[in-house]
């Protein structure tokens, strides 16, 4: 059994350039919430609304802002952004074991695929023709790396990840189980016959997918390859679980999207955007840098300026919602009546 990881508090302060207040010799062996942390664990306070929990917390030390430190009786680490500092410290206690280089005997690898000797290829993986697995990459069990795909150095595909074809992952990309990258985009053309009926013709999807360094792709998320040019995620894009990215979408660096969001084909999303859960962005639209789209919003036109945008009807008591829904049907009639009254008033004012 391995020895538990432990750090002195003054070691953590020095390592992450934080101001220490209190006993620097205190040993920290893990992390926890303000409510559940023990004397050997470190917690954090990022939202001052939870300041009242400081008095009852048994945490050995707390990461917080300077203006909250006066309310902390025990040891603390002062950070400009406590949540970021806590995330960095918590990573030291991540129990995920290091992958062992090598290829599992059950893996199937094409003769012309290139697998770096330092990569780790798990059970029942399939690596097809022309694929490249770079140094330190990790493929968990049952991953499929399709024709002409590339997995960058230190990237990790957790399990059952499929790269279909012409997919390139940058360095340190993390892909969670069930994700499918590089499947056909939804490209169809309807061919009508003489009777104005007909059927769908599939448009070949000839592009690929390019994913930049330090991206993260959530479980069961799907990213389609481009029809002609590539679908692109720039560096440090973070996608939650069960997100749909359609063909030829371009997502700018450092943008994050929450679960069940969907982006239709050829939309372009800027850098440093935040897309809420269940939000939808229609195809061929542009979203500027620094845009926040709240949960369940539907973007139906391009957004040219940074800011926060919302749509939809907030939750209401059912009886009130039904009344408002009934009135919604009469909005057009009401608008016309208001316009008529305004014109009548303007006419009277001009005569007088």
pLDDT, tens only, 40-51: 999 999 998 899
Domain parsing of the chain, residue ranges: 7-93, 161-309, 321-351
Mind listing the pLDDT tens digit for each residue in 44-86? Answer: 999 988 999 999 999 999 999 999 999 999 999 999 999 999 9
Residue 94 burial class via C-beta count within 10 angstroms: exposed 0-12, middle 13-18, buried 19 and up: exposed
Q: Which of 71, 124, 247, 304 is catalytic?
A: 247
Percentage of the chain lying above the pLDDT 90 cut? 89
How many degrees, rounded to 5, is the angle at CA 245 between CA 240 and CA 246? Answer: 170
Residue 331 burial class via C-beta count within 10 angstroms: exposed 0-12, middle 13-18, buried 19 and up: exposed
Band of pLDDT at residue 1, cut at 50, 70 and 90: very low
Tokens representing 148? 């002409």
Q: Does domain 7-93 have CATH number 3.40.1390.10?
A: yes
How far is Cα 273 from Cα 290, in angstroms, rounded to an integer? 5
Domains 7-93 and 161-309 belong to one CATH topology: no
Q: Which of 140, 110, 106 is nearest to 127 (CA)?
A: 110
Active site residue 58: no
pTM: 0.91
Mind listing the pLDDT tens digit for each residue in 86-96? Answer: 999 999 998 88
How far is Cα 22 from Cα 235, in angstroms, rounded to an integer? 39
Q: Does domain 161-309 have CATH number 2.60.40.1180?
A: no
In Å, how far are 36, 63, 94, 171, 321 from 44, measured between CA atoms? 12, 4, 17, 30, 40
- The chain-wide mean pLDDT, for the chain, equals 95
């Amino acid at each position: 059994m391995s020895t538990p990881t432990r750090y002195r508090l003054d070691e953590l302060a020095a390592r992450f350039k934080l101001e220490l207040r209190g006993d620097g010799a205190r040993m920290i062996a893990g992390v926890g919430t303000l409510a559940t942390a023990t004397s050997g664990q470190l917690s954090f306070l990022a939202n001052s609304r939870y300041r009242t929990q400081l008095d009852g917390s048994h945490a050995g030390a707390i990461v917080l802002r300077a203006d909250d430190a006066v309310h902390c009786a025990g040891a603390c680490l002062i950070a400009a952004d406590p949540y970021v500092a806590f995330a960095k410290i918590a990573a030291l206690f991540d129990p995920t074991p290091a992958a062992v280089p090598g290829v599992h005997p059950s893996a199937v690898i094409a003769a012309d695929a290139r697998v770096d000797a330092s990569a780790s290829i798990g059970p029942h993986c399939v690596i097809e023709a022309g694929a490249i697995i770079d140094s330190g990459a990790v493929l968990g069990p049952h991953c499929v790396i399709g024709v002409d795909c590339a997995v960058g150095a230190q990237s990790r595909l957790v399990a059952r990840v499929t790269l279909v074809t012409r997919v390139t992952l940058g360095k340190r990309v993390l892909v969670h189980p069930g994700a499918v990258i590089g499947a056909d985009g939804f490209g169809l053309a309807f061919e009508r016959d003489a009777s104005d009926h007909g059927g769908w013709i599939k448009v070949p999807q000839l592009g690929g997918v390019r994913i930049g360094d330090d991206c993260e792709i959530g479980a069961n998320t799907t990213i389609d390859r481009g029809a002609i040019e590539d679908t692109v995620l720039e560096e440090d894009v973070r996608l939650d679980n069960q997100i749909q990215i359609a063909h030829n979408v371009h997502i700018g660096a450092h943008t994050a999207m929450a679960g069940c969001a969907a982006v239709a084909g050829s939309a372009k999303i800027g850098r440093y955007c935040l897309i809420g859960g269940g939000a939808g962005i229609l195809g061929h639209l542009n979203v500027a840098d620094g845009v926040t789209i709240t949960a369940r919003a539907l973007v139906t036109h391009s957004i040219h300026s940074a800011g926060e945008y919302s749509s939809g009807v907030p939750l209401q008591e059912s009886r009130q919602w039904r009344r408002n829904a009934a009135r919604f049907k009469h909005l057009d009639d009401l608008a016309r009546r208001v316009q008529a009254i305004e014109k009548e008033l303007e006419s009277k004012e001009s005569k007088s």
